[in-house]
Amino acid sequence: MVLELQKPRPIWQIMFSTHHTDVGLLYLITSLGFLFLGGALALAIRAELFLPGAQIIGDAMTFNRIFTVHGTTLIFLFIIPFASSVGNYYVPIMVRYKDMAYPKLNAIAFWMIPPGGALIWLGFADFTWYATPPYSIISAPGPAADMWIFGLKILGISSVLGAINFIVTILKCKHPDMSIGQVPLLAWSFLSSSLIILVAIPTFAAALLMLLTDRLGVSGFFNPAMGGDPIAYAHLFWFTFHPEVYVLVIPAIGMMYEIIPRFSRKPIYSYNSGVFAFVLLSIVGFSSWAHHMYATGMSFTEKTVFMVGTLAAVPASAMHVFNFVATMWNARIKFLTPMMWSVGGIALFFSAGAGGVANAAMPLDFTTHDTYWVVGHFHLFVMGTIAFGSIGFLYYMFPYVTGRMYNETMGKIHFIMSFVGTVLVFFTQHVLGLYGMPRRIFDYPPIPEWIAMNQIATVGAMIIGVSMAIFLANMIYSSGKGKPANTEDPFGVGGKYYYPFEAKNPSH
């Protein structure tokens, strides 16, 4: 037994534990719950857009509320908590420490997520996950908008507390015999992303506070009627959320660094370049926020600076891809489900990165700005890279957590259907953007090309939806009835990788 969660215990004992594996399990279950909720909203959006005119959603306001909560849920309540679940499980074991540095603070960080999520879902705001002023100040109805702001504030504090815990655990609690140059790359990914959070999140926290006081009428930071400037909010927002993209993707890349060498049965090709690429991405993430704002009237010089800053992320990303490919080259690869998801994630990461290079170019950005091209690019990155890496790692950690094996055939069917569905949805949305369809619209004119591509995208989304139902059935059934796993080497790739620091005390 490695992670010692296999033995059934009363649910309350896990809920009120501060041990890192128990907190990790709570993060895992919560994030998966929100994955299915957010995914259901995505299917509703795609069903609505299958044909012009209102289909299943009554009006544009309801549509706006649905895609606002869909985006907020999958970014803040699925991707980030899922990464925290992986970090809680593996980081203390990897640095050979008994727990996270601050176990009680760790549990507090988790328990801030349910109230934050409840505020977002009960409010059901309508101003997109950008909350862009002046609409979010002048017209967005309360209390939905205010609940969204408070929910995001709570989730932001939770992220900062979690980031502090990861940084201290990795830097100060690692075993004395382990140098920083020996820390596994998965732990490095959490160190890098946590440092980004500490720098970026306070900026958005300030922006949300200013937004709230603007809504209350006591300030006018972003309200043009009171001398404010909405563009200032855009700067604060993107200063946080362009680096935040790397907060989302870096842990997923770290998960691939854990899977690919295992299933290739080779050491990683270059540990040092992996560390260097993580550090480089953490830095250049802050040099490119304004490439989201080319159309706001910046000078040519400013645009050029941010275009170059954006392109600086390309070598760092390419280093990771090269590292993965070089590791797999001439390797005895065992293509089980976790490896399939990782390889698929790399392919889609490359595709999304190529789209990012195109977006950085000013002429194309002006052509595609606020079209479905942007929707396709962002979702290919989030779904194709981050979700693929995360789901692959979920299969990987399944036997360690439950002591049982999932159904391999169902896992592979889940991957194949998800990959096909992802390509159908998001590649098609790129083309739809080139045909000029705007994003965030409830209805569209009956242009034959738009109708055909929306139908392809909707069919792709439904394929993903069916695959997720297979995934859920596999997880639930295998947790109770799956074949008992050899938790020292559940995938039969040789070696024993994880050693608990000491026997766990459940009441810790």
| CATH number of the domain where residue 473 is located | 1.20.210.10
Section 235-247 average pLDDT:
89
Q: Is the confidence at residue 322, as pLDDT, over 80?
A: yes
Q: What pLDDT does residue 292 have?
A: 85
Please determine, for residue 506, whether its predicted confidence score (pLDDT) is greater than 70.
no
Which pLDDT score is estimated for 12? Answer: 85
Distance CA 365, CA 72 (A): 24
| Residue 378 structural domain | 15-481
SS3 state of residue 380? helix
Does residue 506 sit within a domain? Answer: no
| Stretch 312-320: mean pLDDT | 89
Bigger pLDDT: 49 vs 364 = 49
Tell me which H or E stretch contains 469. Answer: helix 448-481
Q: How far apart are CA 336 and CA 344, in angstroms?
A: 12
Q: How far apart are the first and last CA of the chain?
A: 19
Confidence of residue 13 (pLDDT cuts 50, 70, 90): confident
Q: What is the pLDDT of residue 279?
A: 93
Domain count, the chain: 1
Of the ranges 129-133, 209-213, 214-218, 422-426, which one carries the lowest mean pLDDT score? 129-133
pTM score, whole prediction = 0.94
In which band, very low, low, confident or very high, does the pLDDT at 335 lie, cut at 50, 70 and 90? very high
CA angle 501, 504, 508 (to 5 degrees): 115
Domain assignment present for residue 332? The answer is yes
Closest CA to 244 of 196, 301, 185: 196
Is the pLDDT at 68 greater than 80? The verdict is yes
CA–CA separation, 439 and 274 (whole Å): 36
Mean pLDDT of 468-497: 90
In DSSP notation, 292-355 reads GGGGG---HHHHHHHHHHHHTHHHHHHHHHHHHHHHHTT------HHHHHHHHHHHHHHHHHHH
* Residue 499 within a domain: no
Least confident of 6-10, 120-124, 199-203: 6-10
Which of 88, 205, 196 lies closest to 157 in space, CA to CA? 205
Name the band, by pLDDT with cuts 50, 70 and 90, for residue 360. confident
Q: What is the spatial distance between Cα 205 and Cα 127, in angstroms, rounded to a whole number?
A: 18
Question: Average per-residue pLDDT in the chain?
Answer: 92
* 259 within a domain of the structure (yes/no): yes
Answer yes or no: is 498 within a domain. no
292 close to 430: Cβ distance less than 8 angstroms: no
pLDDT bin (cut points 50, 70, 90) of residue 3 is: low
By CB atoms closer than 10 A (0-12, 13-18, 19+), residue 225 is exposed
Let me know: does 491 contact 334? Beta carbons within 8 Å. yes
Residue 259 parent element (H or E): helix 230-264
* Residue 459 maps to a domain: yes
What is the per-residue pLDDT across 445-464, written as a single tens digit (0 to 9) for each? 999 999 999 999 999 999 99
The answer to whether residue 504 scores a pLDDT higher than 70 is no
Which residues are CB-neighbours of 362 under 8 A, at least 6 positions away? 294, 303, 307
Q: Positive or negative CA dihedral for 462, 454, 349, 64?
A: negative
Phi, psi of 483 (to 5 degrees): -65, 135
Angle, alpha carbons 134-136-138 (nearest 5°)? 60
Per-residue pLDDT, averaged over 103-130, amounts to 95
- The residue count of the chain comes to 508
Tell whether 416 is covered by a domain.
yes
pLDDT at position 7 is: 65
More confident residue, 142 or 196: 196
pLDDT value at 159 more than 70: yes
Residue 505 binned pLDDT confidence (cut-offs 50, 70, 90) = very low
Domain assignment of residue 501, yes or no: no
Tens digit of pLDDT for each residue in 384-409?
Answer: 999 999 999 999 999 988 889 999 99
Work out the percent of the chain whose per-residue pLDDT is above 90.
75
